[in-house]
Structure 1
């Protein structure tokens, strides 16, 4: 057993309301009763700002009185203070022996080492036993079970500290509006009244949105989590609804709703570089209810007008659709010996760079009702953010461009902006009309043509239009591939117009390996390899005798098998591929079943045909 002294870190996370209590009838009833009393003592204000202020205070006061704060401390592993103390004593004894060379000190060191190993081994075994018993106790509560095993197997990397000033400078520059957009006149967009305005949402429509809100989600800057609104009772829900209607009709919203809490999440690469983080915005729950209603109304207009190429964040479409289309195009082209030139396009921080002025113009050209355009513009005007860092939160910064990732409207608005660029470039035509095709999932775009010249021309048109809308091509991350039966030139780079792109033999598109030889077996091997990583990650649960077989099967089906079967709908399996997948599954099931005792009294691992017995 290897041991080392580690620094035990304590401290609590930011205090949050103990909303778990709302799952109990007594606390739930008490919360609704107290909320009703609070609201009855506060008259409804005409002014939206004052009404929201009173409503928020009522929610906060009631949550403090009934629920209280939940302090979540970091869970300690088996190596506790006693283990640290014994290990330190062992190390001191060893250092003493190394200095003196005395036989008595050597015997003392051996004794201390024996005690430390024995104690730590006992602690670790007890910890594992308690962990497995906890997993088994929660086997009927899927959410708690998966949260538990994910926490215990967390491999998240702790990022390096970046001081507040650097974060402020980086995001201030990122969100600053460009003075000019190439090829697009900077004109004020006139918002003319239109008879084609959407009415305020009905109470039923509002409640439908409320019902869709999930629990156990991070709250925004105002700390009003989804549970506090959903479980607040009819009185609270009615007051919130009236605020939303007032905002809808007046096209002005409380100032607090304009500020979000930006959480930088490391994507990959150097953790000391701000550009390697994706900023996710936490927003007020009441604001999210409003934007969810606006998005629902917008979708009714956009779904009939967005091109079929776009599979991102649309009802009835997913990554599977995009993967299937590109797989079929490559397969049929390979079958009929048609050469394909594919460019996998990447934009620099696409969601954060959308030009808002151009976005409003695209909405008008889509003939979206003026009311919805005004409400959308309202959500973007004077928007701000504070950045949550390892130290604290920064000062407020202005967000002058882009759509906020975390906002219900962001994906729909991005699709509108990109669709305008695709159509203006003339790249939205069906395959029966044009040999140039576009496949997209949000900003993950594949541009496909039959020759390099056509690809260069299509790229130039697309870049011209996307730049008008604020999007900048990322030359380093955009890759070029040729799919052909014939042997292609072994070049490392290719020039398309003024750009130089790296030529690749395979590319990871939406999590799937696309290669120039149309070999799907390579993808199957990668899926099995990824599933093996998941298998080793959860192996301790699959072999522990404190957990019954039904729970182990549940863990396998939820956390391991989906990794192997991702995009299974699009897989074209050979006999060898099927055998390899079967071998992997039998290996896992063999571990779950464990050894069996034979009639001769020996224990052995089951053969394939015996696992069902």
Structure 2
């Protein structure tokens, strides 16, 4: 192979994988093909930081046929044994500064870097897992799903607002926030249901059985520590596992409440863990919230009462007293959902003003850093303009109603 570092790491990983104890041949169906591995490698993005094995995406993308064959063999060893090298379960946590005082730890966000060969293996499993689970996930979930995005949920909520305003019908809403949803998913509830065969669940579980991480700051490393709860950050499997988990909660909380839009009853909208519960009255919304809270508790999650809020769309102010156990949720007159501001009056003028202000701020920044730079070509400037300024100005424009 052309890349000695990768060859050495692969040989070590092969040796470790062969030494792992596992249940033997799991009868997991077809082995992983070279085409599956090559397709995942092809979609790796260059310029990304490596994991603990220091194998960069460029190394894998530069592999020839022989190199891909070795990588496929390694994936098949993990597939057959139901065990993976420890490197694939080890995350490198790197702090990224957000804003504020650099001496305050809470002003940093930790990101986890995983092994790239391990992510290729996870990517193959994700495709097989998604083929089984995707058709079963409910329509109200649009997060981490191909062909869907934030605009789908924003447009649906906007149309509900328009219909309610047209027929003078109130809409009671609860914007639900879950405490540390992604990082605290109980893993026990993930290994079953949804028609996923046991062998595939086992190999997915193998990525978590000895999961650990260590911190890496300015060249210094901490001791490793076990990670026993939550989904792995940066793992290709985590998004589909998470929406499967949220789908379980949503199904368990279904009732007869909701709002009608034509012949369609809409009880909730989900984008990953961003949840909106909808009802035609405060009593119905409370019942829906009670069921959702109970489903969250059964799944090992809790609603954050300090961040969850209620709002009523109506031509006059209407009280909506919602409780989660003894805690009363605050009622607001406006809420920013998926980056778009919705108000209790159902008007979009404030959101349009926000878009204009955001685009103006972007333009001021671009003028100093891009527009006046003579070393940048006109083509590059236009590309930056379209990708940043136009995006900031027109995000959510599908919701804007023309009045003239």
TM-score, with length taken from structure 2: 0.89
CA contact 1:194–1:370 (8 Å) conserved in 2 = no
From the superposition, tell whether residues 45 and 403 of structure 1 become closer, same or farther in structure 2 (CA, over 3 Å).
closer
Answer whether contact 1:324 1:570 (CA < 8 A) is retained: yes
Q: Distance between the aligned counterparts of 2:97 and 2:9, measured in 1? A: 44
Cα distance between partner residues in 2 of 1:309 and 1:560: 31
In structure 2, C-alpha distance between the alignment counterparts of 1:42 and 1:537, rounded to whole Å: 44
Separation in structure 2 between the aligned mates of residue 444 and residue 272 of structure 1, nearest angstrom: 31
Q: Is 2:208 the counterpart of 1:380?
A: yes
Distance change in 2, residues 1:483/1:34 (3 Å): closer
Q: CA 1:426 to 1:268, structure 2 compared with 1: closer, same or farther past 3 Å?
A: farther
Q: Of 482, 487, 509, which residue of structure 1 is paired with 2:312?
A: 482
Aligned to 1:293: 124
Name the counterpart of 1:458: 288
SS in 2 for 1:353: coil
Higher relative contact order (CA 8 A, sep 6+): 2
Q: Describe the shift of the 1:50–1:457 C-alpha distance in structure 2 as closer, same or farther (beyond 3 A).
A: closer
Give the 5 Å matches for 1:304-343.
304-343=135-174
Tell me which residue corresponds to 1:569.
398
In 2, distance between residues paired with 1:428 and 1:212? 43
Is 1:249 paired with 2:216?
A: no
State the shift of 1:486 in Å. 2.2
- The verdict on how the C-alpha distance between 1:51 and 1:355 changes in structure 2, with shifts beyond 3 A counting, is closer
Which residue of the partner structure matches residue 12 of structure 1? none
CA distance in 1 between partners of 2:122 and 2:256 (Å)? 29
Pair 1:415 & 2:243 matched: yes
Shift of 1:264: 3.7
Q: Does 1:438 align with 2:272?
A: no
2:258–2:268 CA contact under 8 A, matched in 1: no
1:49 aligns with 2:19: no
Pick the aligned partner of 2:371 from 533, 538, 542.
542
User: Aligned equivalents of 2:311 and 2:13: distance in 1?
Assistant: 61
Shift of 1:338: 1.1
User: Using a 3 Å threshold, how does the CA distance of structure 1 residues 45 and 256 change in structure 2: closer, same or farther?
Assistant: closer
Equivalence for 1:400: 228
Give deviations 1:272-317, integer Å, cap 9, x for gaps. 6656654422100010001101110011011110011110010111
2:383 aligns with one of 554, 578, 597: 554
CA contact (8 A) 2:95 2:109 kept: yes
Per residue, is there more strand in 1 or in 2? 2
Q: Structure 1's 218 and 481: CA in aligned 2 closer, same or farther, altered over 3 A?
A: same
Residue of structure 1 aligned with 2:64, choices 223, 233, 236: 233
Q: CA RMSD in A?
A: 3.1
Post-superposition shift, 1:454?
1.3
User: Match for 1:532 among 350, 360, 371?
Assistant: 360
**1:130-149 alignment to 2 at 5 Å?**
none
8 Å Cα contact 1:45-1:51 kept in structure 2: no
Deviates more, 1:321-330 or 1:231-240: 231-240
1:323-370 alpha-carbon deviations (Å, 9 max, x no partner)? 11111111111111111111111111101111111121xxx2211111
Q: Does 1:202 align with 2:30?
A: no
**Mapped partners of 1:279, 1:570: distance in 2:** 35
Structure 1 distance, partners of 2:305, 2:291, is: 16
Residues 1:280 and 2:111 are matched in the alignment = yes
Give the alignment partner of residue 278 of structure 2, picking from 421, 435, 448.
448
Aligned length: 397
Q: Which residue of 2 aligns with 1:125?
A: none
* In 2: Cα distance, 1:391 partner to 1:46 partner: 24
Q: Is the 2:172–2:285 Cα contact (8 Å) retained in structure 1?
A: yes
Could you say which structure has the larger radius of gyration? 1
Residue in structure 1 matched with residue 46 of structure 2 by the alignment: 215
Separation of aligned partners in 2, 1:270 and 1:198: 54
* Structure 2: unaligned runs, 5 residues or longer: none
- What CA distance in whole angstroms lies between the structure 1 residues aligned with 2:310 and 2:398? 26
Structure 2 CA distance for partners of 1:516 and 1:524, relative to 1, 3 Å: same
CA contact (8 A) 1:251 1:374 kept: yes
Distance (Å, rounded) in 2 between the aligned partners of 1:550 and 1:237: 37
Secondary structure class of the residue paired with 1:287: helix
Cα distance 1:487–1:545, how it changes in 2: closer, same or farther (>3 A)? same
| Distance in structure 2 (CA, Å) of the matches to 1:224 and 1:387 | 18
TM-score when normalising by structure 1: 0.60
Which of 509, 513, 532 lines up with 2:337 in the alignment?
A: 509
Alignment of 1:170-189 (within 5 A): none
Q: What are the within-5 Å matches in structure 2 for residues 585-600 of structure 1?
A: none
